Amino acid sequence: MQHLDLFKKSHGSIWHRKPIASSEDGLLLTITRSSLRAFTPGGNRTIRFTQVAFDRSGQQFLASDQQGNLYQFNLAKNKFKSLLNTGVPCTTLSFNLQRKNEALVALSDCLLKCYDITTKEVVCWMKGHDTAINSISIHSSGRYALTASNKVAHLWDLETFTHQRTLNGAQKVGIMKVCFLPSSNNILTCFKDDTIFVWDMENLQCQYQLPVPPGKNKPCYRSLATTSDGQYLIAGGRSRFLHLWTLENKRLIRIIQLPLCVKNVKLIAFLPDSLDTSSSQTVGVLSQDGIMRFINIHNCNLLFEIGTQNNPIHQATINSNGRYVLALMGNGNINLYSIASLSTEIKKPPEPITKAVIVKDKDASSTATNRDKPARYADLHGIAPEDINKNINWNGPQAVISKNTDRWNKDLELAVTNRPIVKRNYRQTSKSNDLYDRLDIKRLHRILKGFGEYPSKYRIFIWRSLLKLPENHECYSNLIEKGTHSAFIKLDEEYPIKSRKLLNNLQKTLSALAHWSPIFGEVHYLPLLIFPFVKLFQNNHLICFEVIATIIVNWCQKWFEFFPNPPINILSSIENMLGAHDSELLDHFIRNKIKSQIYAWPLLETLFSEVLTKEEWLILWDHILSNHPSFLLSLVVAYLTCSRRALLHCNEKEDFKFYFHHRNAVNIKSIIEEAYQIHSTTPKNLHPKYKLQGFEPITSGQYPIFNKYPKFIINYQAKERNRILCEEMEYLKQRQIALELQKETEQKILEENAWRRNQQLLSEAETQRRMMIKTEEDKLLNQKSRLQAMKRELVMKELQLLDAARRNVLHDDKVQKENEVKRLDEELERISKRREEETRSALAEMELKALELRVQKEMFTQELAREQSKNVLHSKADLDARRNQVEIKDYLVERERQKIENDLNERRKTNLEKLAKAQQKANSFKNQYELNYRNRIHDLEQEMQHLTLSHQAKLNKVEDDEVEAIMKMIEKDSKNTTEKYQEELLKLNKPLEAKILRKYEEDNDKEREEVTNVGNVRHSVNPLIATTDERFLISRGGSDLPTEHHVIPDFEQRKKFERQEVALLSDVNKLRSKIAASNRQFSKESDDSGSR
């Protein structure tokens, strides 16, 4: 067997030298395609092949992978090459067209494309399917092609690449299989209702319908195959039976029963005879366990088989000459098997593995079948036929328990099926397994529905029969021989179980599971999940392991896809079901931020063992094992809905956690009834039944491969554990070396301590002798010290007598001094009291003086305020007088100006009267208009003047208020300072008034000049205007024109005068602020001097 990896290869040789197929499995070649792994640098991952197809010669085949790459392999020339990339994965291939260099490729985007493999270009593409194409059948001439999907089949002409016919299934009945019959123009169709029809290709008229065997159990055909000569048709599906028809007589001739391990048939293909390829007597049957068995359809002998349960076959095809079998394996590789090497191993025909049932008279067939049963059963189990007849009644059901009148045993009857016994080419199974197979599952379901549970006496037996345990002793012993897994060495530290036997069983089962699949060494909740089963089956370790393995494979589907996280897909299904059946409870969970990891996952990871008693748990599992694996999720939802009252009153997260980790007052029967109700009423789009697979028992001989988990995480954790284990081993070695060194050092220390102890004894003996001598010397010294002490005591007594006399004298002196001190203290107290009284009287006098000073000060301030108010009034009167004088001067100046203006007006009047008379009639209308316009302007000017006067009055009022405020601040100043500053104010006002008068006279002179200039211009330039002006003056009484020319400059002059007055007042305000600041400074200085 050789291996070919297409990693980074576009062409090359298939093998270096012609391989020799193995005589055991006939494997010639394994083809893989690797690529760089994204997660681990330097590692590779396998890209799976999805489709393969042989050409007409059987020497070439095409293969496509999941990335859409198309490869061509030529076995005769020992070459391969990469053709092209389709862009999307292929759903099926066909390489046996009329033109050898063309191939049909069906893509996942529902397109059918024809490629030229030499030029690597698309010849044509055909569109007509709405769903993916699942099969392509080529006519024997190579001109026509049939493509089929689940809904419709199309007939194509490959010469012109045009669509010819369409075959539609009914609305509720889909198409299962469509193909051409060999050497004819007929089309064979199989629909999903198991009806098989033959149609004419030209007009699609039905030729005939093949009969299907009657019965309640439908065959559910999934695959059809015909011989090369078109003589026989064989079909298989979701059952253990193959149906064989002869197309000449259009009738069913055989029903072939397959072994017990076969549950359904995935693929059927006839193997052409090596001598006569048109005849085929051998059929290859690929079952659900991934093994392809080749059986002779005439004598029902098993010839050989390919594939194993560890590496199952996913899809297979046989070349036209029957030399090679091309198989797509479960790991994504392609295996090429040699039929010749497999057939040489068959030295003699084996025992028949199937029994042919001839469709004849019903009674005769049943009699023959019953008559043949003892011999076949004895042949299977190695028991004498007469012993079989003693124990089993072959004419009807046989009860296992016969001498018990209990109501459980009356209903617990096990039916023995009338189907033929199948002898497999494996080691024979035990007798108990055969009895398990003969239990009537429907009868058990009726017992469960009637009584709510199985009888406790036979519960384990029923569970074993429901789970169909294979009892693989060899495989289990191999797992046990591997020893304790490294992940569970310290299990007793994490789970301190009192029973040592139970702990060992738990550790052994966990280790076997971890050796079976690496993920079980990483699942932290696995001990909690399997502990109830370990405790229940603690006397049969094999049954315990297989029960747990079956439950994990079936009822724990898709639990480990998101490892190490909880199964999000399972929890979301539970949440959807809960929302469909109790939305209020789900809303309550959402409001309190309680996720499914809190309310659903604790029930699943312990399989209800924490919240139920033992009896309740056993009853619950009676129903779980008797139903579809999705029933477990319905039980979780039922537990939540039955506990809704308690849960709706919970608002804290810790309360929810406590509730789902402790036993609660719930009725198990009501939970089960609610679970059945939920399981039957859940909508299809939410029902987990359609997301999870049905029950499949674990395989016999070898346990199935369990790899539905993220391998890179498990591999990383396993590497880390191995690394830690290696480090621990190295540490233990170092520790052992250290312990040995420690022992050696301790031995040396003991020897040294013994030597030191001997030395110490010698030294102690010497010290004892020295101590004896020393004690004698001490006795003499003590006697001498006693004598000296007696002498010392006599001297001390004399000294004490003298000291007592001295103390008495000192005591008398002390008493006298204390009396003198007391007398002095009393005198000091009297003196201090007298001084305190004197100070109090002095303080009272000072307070009276202070009050008098305050009164005098207030009187002084009042007088000062009066004087200041008088001064303010005098200053106001002076200001008013000055203003009157200024107004008088203004009035005199105004009178003089008016006199001048009157003289000017009289002169103008004379001139204007002359002009007015000349043009009075011509311009009356115009003069009237100008008169109105001038009146309006005059009125506006007067209003402006009034507004300015009012504004000025307001400003004067504001200034007067400010002056009054300033005067109030000046009231505290002394008379000398006020008089001084008033004199300074008068000195400052005089030059300002002179300056104002000079400016006023200059302005009047300028106005006079302007008036004269204007008058001259008007007389010289426009006599018409002069006449109009003259008429205007006449209408106004002869004094309006000069006033017109006079009002404007007078108004401007007043504005100037007001501005000057405002400036003067601002200067006065500044001066007053200076006076106020100086007064405040003066008052502060006076206060300081007074305080001093």
Q: How far apart are CA 628 and CA 638, in angstroms?
A: 16
Altogether, the residues listed in the chain come to a count of: 1092
371 has pLDDT over 50: no
Kindly report each contact of residues 478-485 with a partner whose C-beta sits within 8 Å and lies 24 or more positions away, as own/partner.
479/511, 479/512, 479/515, 479/516, 479/545, 480/508, 480/511, 480/512, 480/541, 482/511, 482/515, 483/511, 484/508, 484/511, 485/510, 485/511, 485/514, 485/515, 485/521
Banded model confidence at residue 376, pLDDT cuts 50, 70, 90: very low
Amino acid at 597: Q
Convert the pLDDT of each residue in 519-530 to its tens digit: 888 888 889 889
Q: For 433-442, 591-600, 657-666, which range has the lowest pLDDT when averaged over its residues?
A: 433-442
The answer to whether residues 430 and 477 belong to one domain is: no
DSSP structural state of residue 592: T
Convert the pLDDT of each residue in 633-648 to its tens digit: 999 999 999 998 888 8
- Residue 1051 is assigned to a structural domain of this protein: yes
Domain that holds residue 105: 48-210
Banded model confidence at residue 937, pLDDT cuts 50, 70, 90: confident
Work out how many domains the chain is built from and give that number.
Answer: 4
> For residue 724, how many other CB atoms are within 10 A of its CB?
12
Q: How far apart are CA 499 and CA 488, in angstroms?
A: 17
- Residue 644 is assigned to a structural domain of this protein: yes
Convert the pLDDT of each residue in 504-516 to its tens digit: 889 899 999 988 8
Residues of 522-542 as b/e, b for ≥16 C-beta within 10 angstroms? bbeebbbbbbbbbbbbbeebb
Structure tokens at 424: 């497999």
The answer to whether residues 425 and 572 belong to one domain is: no
Tell me the average pLDDT across 931-950.
Answer: 74
Convert the pLDDT of each residue in 1039-1083 to its tens digit: 443 333 333 445 566 666 667 767 776 776 777 677 777 667 766
Banded model confidence at residue 439, pLDDT cuts 50, 70, 90: low
- DSSP string spanning 980-1003? HHHHHHHHHHHHHHHHHHHHHHHH
Phi-psi bin for 696: left (phi > 0), alpha (psi -120 to 50), beta? beta
- Look up tokens 């029903």; give the residue: 255
- Residue 1039 is assigned to a structural domain of this protein: yes
291 has pLDDT over 80: yes
The answer to whether residues 427 and 511 belong to one domain is: no
- Residue 425 is assigned to a structural domain of this protein: yes
- Residue 678 is assigned to a structural domain of this protein: yes
- What pTM was estimated for this model as a whole? 0.38
Listed ranges 688-692, 959-963, 1087-1091; the one with the highest mean pLDDT: 688-692
Amino acid at 431: K
The answer to whether residues 477 and 416 belong to one domain is: no
Q: How far apart are CA 133 and CA 151, in angstroms?
A: 10
The answer to whether residues 386 and 489 belong to one domain is: no
Q: How far apart are CA 418 and CA 437, in angstroms?
A: 12
CB-CB contact of 869 with 964 (8 Å): no
Torsion of CA 758, 759, 760, 765, to 10 degrees: 90
The answer to whether residues 476 and 619 belong to one domain is: yes
- Residue 287 is assigned to a structural domain of this protein: no
- Residue 991 is assigned to a structural domain of this protein: yes
Convert the pLDDT of each residue in 177-191 to its tens digit: 899 988 888 899 998
Provide the CATH number for the domain around residue 643: 1.10.472.80
The answer to whether residues 483 and 427 belong to one domain is: no
Mean pLDDT of the chain: 77
The answer to whether residues 965 and 1043 belong to one domain is: yes
| Closest residue by Cα to residue 1049 from 1088, 1092, 1008 | 1008
Tell me the average pLDDT across 59-70.
Answer: 90
| Closest residue by Cα to residue 185 from 169, 164, 170, 168 | 164
CA 592 to chain centre: 18
The answer to whether residues 404 and 501 belong to one domain is: no
Banded model confidence at residue 1003, pLDDT cuts 50, 70, 90: low
- Residue 656 is assigned to a structural domain of this protein: yes
419 has pLDDT over 60: no
Convert the pLDDT of each residue in 961-986 to its tens digit: 776 776 677 666 656 665 665 676 66
Provide the CATH number for the domain around residue 149: 2.130.10.10
Tell me the average pLDDT across 946-955.
Answer: 74
Q: Which of 210, 229, 249 is where one domain is finished?
A: 210
Q: Which of 410, 426, 441 is where one domain is finished?
A: 441
Q: Find the radius of gyration of the CA atoms of the chain.
A: 63
Query: Residue 1052's pLDDT is what?
Result: 62
- DSSP string spanning 1055-1067? HHHHHHHHHHHHH
The answer to whether residues 430 and 471 belong to one domain is: no
Q: How far apart are CA 757 and CA 763, in angstroms?
A: 10
The answer to whether residues 628 and 486 belong to one domain is: yes
Q: Which of 666, 690, 714 is where one domain is finished?
A: 690
Q: How far apart are CA 492 and CA 367, in angstroms?
A: 61
The answer to whether residues 486 and 380 belong to one domain is: no
Cα–Cα separations (whole angstroms), residue 929 to 919, 925, 932, 1032, 1055 = 15, 6, 5, 11, 30
- Look up tokens 């969970």; give the residue: 589
- DSSP string spanning 941-975? HHHHHHHHHHHHHHHHHHHHHHHHHHHHHHTTS-H
